[in-house]
Amino acid sequence: MSGARVRQNIAFGLMGLVTMLVVLPIILTLWYVVANGIGAISLDFILQPPRNGMREGGIFPAIVGTFILIVGTMILSLPIGVLSAIYLVEYAKDNLFTRLIKLAVVNLSGIPSIVYGLFGLTVFVVLLRLGTSILAGCMTLAIMSLPVIITATKEALESVPASYREISLSLGATKWQTVRHCVLPYAIPGILTGTVLSLSRAAGETAPILFTVAAFYLPRLPRSLFDQVMALPYHLYVISTQVPNMPLSLSFATAFVLISLVFLMNLVSIILRAHYRRKRQW
């Protein structure tokens, strides 16, 4: 074997090893969670409210709460995020102002989530008098998700070749028709990926919902958008640190449900992407 071939094999070997180092902790964590939690998973655990100071019963209100928060966050952040990215990429002139906005968006995605939580508390809960409510929580999570959605959408739009826009415009299409029919369809997979990524993060965050929506213990379903809800990550935090004599299997089972929920969301996005590729027309 030549020297170049040997060096190539060493390089590939190293890369494979590093990849394993990345994947291994994830697999171990998942295995640990599943192995410790699967025993506590039952239909009752999923469909019943907690009992006896949360030491028994299920986590149904927290599942519903997290589900509501994800859906609400998506409804608020997806249209705003996608539309503002479309504006930034397709319509805005490249000047100092738009460059500042783009810079701000990138930087916002790096802000710690507790800062968003405090922002939500001061602005939505106190200033807008929404109280600790689903609305305030969703708005806080949406603000946190926006930078990621905007960045992902922006990159997806920018990766669509300029020639696609050129053909459409040369045929007499308006800018919006061009974006709608010749740019967006090709950007949808990237947008979906970014959205699911940011919503997964929103689903698992505790800090932003801590002061804005999450209930310590509320074993019933919310009655309106101004109600509080339990949420899986906060519930997990509570039962892991605040409740003495808590059976460990319940914590792991809760973590398992949260991970499954996020996994389900990713699965839906994959199916949507495949479906969209097949159905695309003019």
Partner 1 sequence: MDQMAVKIRAKDLNLFYGDFHALQDIQFSVPEKAITALIGPSGCGKSTLLRCFNRMNDLVENCRITGSIRIDGQEVVDDRTDLIALRKKVGMVFQRPNVFDLSIYNNLLFGLRIHRMVSGKDRILATIRWGLEQVGLWDELKDRLNQNARTLTLEQQQRLCIARVVILRPEVILLDEPCSALDPIATMRIEELLRELKRDYTIVIVTHNMQQAARVSDYTGFMYLGRLIEFGTTSQVFTNPRDRLTENYISGQFG
- CA–CA distance, 255 with 34 (Å, rounded to integer): 9
Nearer to partner 1, 5 or 94 (CB): 94
Beta bridge pairs of residue 50: 57
Nearer to partner 1, 181 or 201 (CB): 181
- Least CB distance to partner 1 at residue 95 (A): 10
- Contact call for residues 190 and 153 (beta carbons, < 8 A): yes
Torsion of CA 194, 200, 204, 208, to 10 degrees: 40
Nearer to partner 1, 52 or 281 (CB): 281
- Least CB distance to partner 1 at residue 166 (A): 7
- CA–CA distance, 159 with 183 (Å, rounded to integer): 9
- Least CB distance to partner 1 at residue 181 (A): 7
Nearer to partner 1, 182 or 199 (CB): 182
Percentages of the chain per state (helix, strand, coil), in multiples of 5 = 75, 0, 20
Nearer to partner 1, 93 or 129 (CB): 93
Q: Which two tokens stand for residue 171?
A: 């045929």
- Least CB distance to partner 1 at residue 88 (A): 15
Q: b vs e for 82-121, b when ≥16 Cβ sit within 10 Å of the residue's Cβ?
A: bebbbebbbeeeeeeeeeeebeebeebbeeebeebbbbbb
- Least CB distance to partner 1 at residue 269 (A): 21
- Least CB distance to partner 1 at residue 161 (A): 9
- Using the 8-state DSSP alphabet, how is residue 84 labeled? H
- Least CB distance to partner 1 at residue 277 (A): 10
Nearer to partner 1, 178 or 198 (CB): 178
- DSSP secondary structure, 143-185, as one string: HHHHHHHHHHHHHHHHTS-HHHHHHHHHTT--HHHHIIIIIHH
Q: Which two tokens stand for residue 186?
A: 């090709």
| Interface ranges with partner 1 (CB under 8 A) | 93-94, 163-174, 177, 181-182, 186, 280-282
Q: b vs e for 126-143, b when ≥16 Cβ sit within 10 Å of the residue's Cβ?
A: eeeebebbbbbbbbbbbb
- Least CB distance to partner 1 at residue 281 (A): 6
Amino acid letter, 11: A
Neighbours of 123 (CB within 10 A): 16
Nearer to partner 1, 56 or 166 (CB): 166
Nearer to partner 1, 27 or 167 (CB): 167
